[in-house]
Structure 1
Amino acid sequence: MRLKHSEDNGKLFIRLLLSITLCIVVTLIVSSAILFTLFNRIALKQVYQSDLAALNQTSKEVVGMTDSAQSLSFQLYQNLNISKLMFYANPNIYDSVAAMRELSNYLSSMPFIKSIYVYNPNSRYVYLASNAKQSGLLAPSELADQDILKMLDDYQDYKPFTPIPRTIPIDVDSTERQAVYTYLCYDAIGLTDKVNSAIIVNIDAQWINRDIGSHVGQATNGKSFIIDNRGRLLSGDDLLVGQSGDEATTLIRRIVADADSGYFIGKSDGDKSLISYTKPDSLEWRYVRITPYRDVTRQVNGIRVLTIAVAAAILAAGLIASFILSRRLYMPIGRMASRMRTLETEKRNSLLTLRQDLLRNLVLGREALNPRPLRRRMDDLGIEFDFQNEYRMALLAIDRFQSFSDTSGPDARVYKYAIMNICYELASQSYKVETIDMDADGVLLLLGSSAAAPFDDVVLLESVLRHIQQAVLEHLRIGVTIAYTDVDNHTVHVHTMYKKVKEAAQHRLFAGYRSLIRASDVIIPMLKEYVYPVEKERRLIESVAAGKVEEAMQLIGCMVDETRSHSVQVARWLLSHLTMVLTNVLHSLQRSHAIVFERSPEHMLAVSDQPFETLQEAETAFQSLLEEVREKLAEKRSMRHEDLIKHIHQMIEEHYGDSNLSLNWIADKLDLSPSYVGRIYKQITLNALIDVINSVRMERSIELLEGTHYSVAEIAERIGYTNPSYFYRMFKKHYGVTPTDYRRRIAIDEGGAAAKG
Structure 2
Amino acid sequence: MPVNVNVSGDNRKLYIKLLLSTILCTILTLLVSSTIYFVNYRNINLNQVYQTDLENLTQTSREVISMTESAQSLTFQLYRNGNISKLMFYENPDIYDTTAAMRELNNYLNSMPYIASIYVYNPKASYVYIASSPGQNGLMTKDELVDKDILNVLDHFQEFKPFVPIPRTYLKNASSTQKSNVYTYLCYDAIGNDNALNSAVIVNITTDWINKDIGKQQGNEASSSFIIDSKGSTLTGKLPNDAEALTAESAITKQIMSNRGSGYFIDKVGGKKSLISFTAPDSLEWRYIRITPYQTITEKINKIRTTTIYIGISILVAGLLVSWHLSRKLYVPIDRIVTRMKSLESDKRNSLFTLKQDVLRKLLQGQEPITAKKMREKRSELGISFDFQSDYRLILLRIDGFQPFLHRHQDDLHVYKYAIMNISSEIVSQAYQVETVDLGNDCIVLLMNVRTAPLDADQSMLLALLKQIQKAVGELLKISISVTYSPLSSQPQDLIPMHRRIIEASEHRLFLGPGCLISAADHQYPETDDYLFTVEKEKKLIDALMAGKVAEAKKLYSCIIEETRPYPISVFQATLSRLTITLNGVLHTILKNNSLDIPISMQLSKNALAKLETIEEIEAVVFELFDDLKKRLDDKRSMKQDDLIRKINDMIEQHCGNPNLCLNWIADEMDMSPIYLSRVYKQNTMNAVVDVINNMRMNRAKDLLKHSDLPIADIAERIGYTNSSYFYRMFKKNYGVTPTDYRKTGLEPGNQASP
Length-normalised TM-score, structure 2: 0.62
Match of 2:126 in 1: none
Match of 1:667 in 2: 667
Match of 2:649 in 1: 649
Contact 1:712 1:739 in 2 (8 A): no
Distance 1:410 1:744, change over 3 A: closer
d(CA) in 2 for partners of 1:745, 1:392? 108
SS at match of 2:395: strand
Match of 1:746 in 2: 745
Which residue type is aligned with residue 688 of structure 2?
A
Task: Give how far 1:396 is off.
Answer: 0.9
SS at match of 2:348: helix
Match of 1:635 in 2: 635
Contact 2:274 2:293 in 1 (8 A): yes
Match of 2:680 in 1: 680
d(CA) in 2 for partners of 1:370, 1:467? 33
Match of 1:699 in 2: 699
Task: Give how far 1:427 is off.
Answer: 0.8
Task: Give how far 1:499 is off.
Answer: 1.3
d(CA) in 2 for partners of 1:292, 1:637? 101
d(CA) in 2 for partners of 1:462, 1:325? 58
Distance 1:621 1:111, change over 3 A: farther
1:224-373 aligned within 5 A: 253=251, 257-259=255-257, 264=266, 274=273, 307-320=308-321, 330-370=331-371
Match of 1:115 in 2: none
Contact 1:586 1:601 in 2 (8 A): yes
d(CA) in 1 for partners of 2:535, 2:585? 15
Task: Give how far 1:560 is off.
Answer: 0.8
d(CA) in 2 for partners of 1:305, 1:455? 69
Distance 1:671 1:34, change over 3 A: farther
Which residue type is aligned with residue 21 of structure 1?
I
Find out whether 1:466 has 2:467 as its counterpart. Answer: yes
Contact 2:371 2:492 in 1 (8 A): no
Aligned-pair RMSD on alpha carbons?
5.4
Contact 1:547 1:630 in 2 (8 A): yes
Q: Deviations along 1:256-288, whole A, 9 cap, x unmatched?
A: 5554997757799xxx973788999xxx9x999
Distance 1:730 1:539, change over 3 A: farther
Q: Deviations along 1:383-441, whole A, 9 cap, x unmatched?
A: 22212221111111222222233322232222211111111011111211111111232
SS at match of 2:410: helix
Range that drifts further, 536-545 or 501-510:
536-545
Distance 1:442 1:710, change over 3 A: same
Match of 1:406 in 2: 407
Task: Give how far 1:471 is off.
Answer: 1.7
Distance 1:277 1:312, change over 3 A: closer
Structure 1 residue runs of 5 or longer lacking an equivalent are: 1-7, 50-70, 72-76, 84-105, 113-219, 221-228, 232-239, 244-250
Q: Deviations along 1:551-581, whole A, 9 cap, x unmatched?
A: 2211211221222233212212322333344
Find out whether 1:488 has 2:489 as its counterpart. Answer: yes
SS at match of 2:411: helix
SS at match of 1:434: strand
d(CA) in 1 for partners of 2:454, 2:17? 41
Match of 2:556 in 1: 555
d(CA) in 2 for partners of 1:30, 1:577? 84
Task: Give how far 1:23 is off.
Answer: 1.7
Query: Which of 28, 31, 34 does residue 29 from structure 1 map onto?
Result: 31
Paired residues, what number? 571
1:89-100 aligned within 5 A: none
Q: Deviations along 1:10-49, whole A, 9 cap, x unmatched?
A: 9865554343233223224325545776898899999999
Match of 1:137 in 2: none
d(CA) in 2 for partners of 1:299, 1:448? 72
Structure 2 residue runs of 5 or longer lacking an equivalent are: 1-9, 52-134, 136-141, 149-172, 180-221, 223-231, 235-241, 280-285
d(CA) in 2 for partners of 1:707, 1:551? 62
Match of 1:505 in 2: 506
d(CA) in 2 for partners of 1:636, 1:230? 114
Distance 1:475 1:392, change over 3 A: same
Q: Deviations along 1:504-537, whole A, 9 cap, x unmatched?
A: 1111122111111111112222555444444544
d(CA) in 2 for partners of 1:373, 1:590? 64
Contact 1:393 1:445 in 2 (8 A): yes
Q: Deviations along 1:646-665, whole A, 9 cap, x unmatched?
A: 33222222222323323333
Distance 1:21 1:738, change over 3 A: same
Contact 1:48 1:263 in 2 (8 A): no
Which residue type is aligned with residue 439 of structure 2?
M
d(CA) in 1 for partners of 2:673, 2:392? 76
Contact 1:405 1:412 in 2 (8 A): yes
Which residue type is aligned with residue 472 of structure 1?
V
d(CA) in 1 for partners of 2:294, 2:718? 114
Range that drifts further, 419-428 or 626-635:
626-635
SS at match of 1:368: coil
SS at match of 1:429: coil
Contact 1:255 1:277 in 2 (8 A): no
d(CA) in 1 for partners of 2:648, 2:301? 102
Contact 1:16 1:326 in 2 (8 A): no
d(CA) in 2 for partners of 1:731, 1:47? 132
SS at match of 2:430: coil
Q: Deviations along 1:278-310, whole A, 9 cap, x unmatched?
A: 999xxx9x99999999x9999999877765443
Range that drifts further, 710-719 or 741-750:
741-750
d(CA) in 2 for partners of 1:577, 1:403? 27
Distance 1:546 1:496, change over 3 A: same
Match of 1:423 in 2: 424
Q: Deviations along 1:337-368, whole A, 9 cap, x unmatched?
A: 44344333333333222322222222222222
Distance 1:711 1:262, change over 3 A: farther
Distance 1:713 1:309, change over 3 A: farther
d(CA) in 2 for partners of 1:593, 1:48? 114
Find out whether 1:436 has 2:443 as its counterpart. Answer: no
Contact 2:274 2:291 in 1 (8 A): yes
Match of 2:79 in 1: none
Q: Deviations along 1:198-253, whole A, 9 cap, x unmatched?
A: xxxxxxxxxxxxxxxxxxxxxx9xxxxxxxx999xxxxxxxx9x99xxxxxxx965
Task: Give how far 1:617 is off.
Answer: 1.1
Find out whether 1:571 has 2:572 as its counterpart. Answer: yes
Contact 1:264 1:276 in 2 (8 A): yes
1:536-547 aligned within 5 A: 536-544=537-545, 547=548
Larger radius of gyration: 2
Range that drifts further, 687-696 or 8-17:
8-17
SS at match of 2:412: helix
Which residue type is aligned with residue 659 of structure 1?
P
Distance 1:288 1:459, change over 3 A: farther
Task: Give how far 1:330 is off.
Answer: 4.3
SS at match of 2:448: strand
Contact 1:431 1:453 in 2 (8 A): no
Match of 1:600 in 2: 601
Task: Give how far 1:490 is off.
Answer: 1.2
Distance 1:670 1:264, change over 3 A: farther
Contact 2:266 2:276 in 1 (8 A): no
d(CA) in 2 for partners of 1:575, 1:583? 12
Task: Give how far 1:717 is off.
Answer: 3.6
